[in-house]
Amino acid sequence: MREESYTVPKASSIPGSVEDWLNRAKSDLALAQIELPEGASYVGLCYHAQQAAEKAIKAISIHQGWNFQDVHNIAVLIRDLEMNGIPVPAEVKSSARLTECAHQTRYPGTSEPVTREEHEQALDRGRSDLRWAETVIAKPKPRS
């Protein structure tokens, strides 16, 4: 399949509403912001920051009436939005690196430990993506 001809199929059986997806994104973001006890790992918090970003982006697809690919790869989800006419700010595009938090960093021994700074960056990305999604969703969706 040629990439430039790809379009996201219309939503047909995605469970939950746009609001449900945004609420889940907000819940994940809240979990990503909790204080850790001494010696605990930031990995789980980064995972929740990634989940907040992913769910916020998927909420945009649902708002537009599109299905989304069943992936956790934020770059793919962003590409799908762009290929269907949604301009994505560079700040949100930089969230693609959060995909690593959904896979490689989740299990012990599969990556370097996550630092406080990396956690703060992941948290910033999750916050930014959620704010952007809420802005996009607040606008009327285009007529089909």
Note the pLDDT tens digit of each residue in 115-124. 899 999 999 9
Structure tokens at 112: 């370097």
Residue 46 lies in a domain: yes
Give residue 16's pLDDT band: very low, low, confident or very high (50, 70, 90): confident
Residue 94 lies in a domain: yes
Mean pLDDT of the 48-56 span: 96
Mean pLDDT of the 95-106 span: 81
pLDDT at 77 over 80: yes
Higher-pLDDT residue of 33, 113: 33
Residue 39 lies in a domain: yes
* HEC-encoded secondary structure of the chain: CCHHHCCCCECCCCCCCHHHHHHHHHHHHHHHCCCCCCCCCCHHHHHHHHHHHHHHHHHHHHHHCECCCCCCCHHHHHHHHHHCCCCCCHHHHHHHHHHHHHCHHHCCCCCCCCCHHHHHHHHHHHHHHHHHHHHHHHCCCCCC
Question: How long is the chain?
Answer: 144
Question: What pLDDT shows up at residue 5?
Answer: 44
- CATH value at residue 95: 1.20.120.330
Hey, which residues does 66 pair with through a beta bridge?
10
Query: Rounded to two decimals, what is the model's pTM?
Result: 0.85
Number of domains the chain contains: 1
Give residue 39's pLDDT band: very low, low, confident or very high (50, 70, 90): confident
Yes or no: say if 98 and 124 are a contact pair by the CB < 8 Å rule. Answer: no
Residue 79 lies in a domain: yes
Range of the domain at 45: 17-138
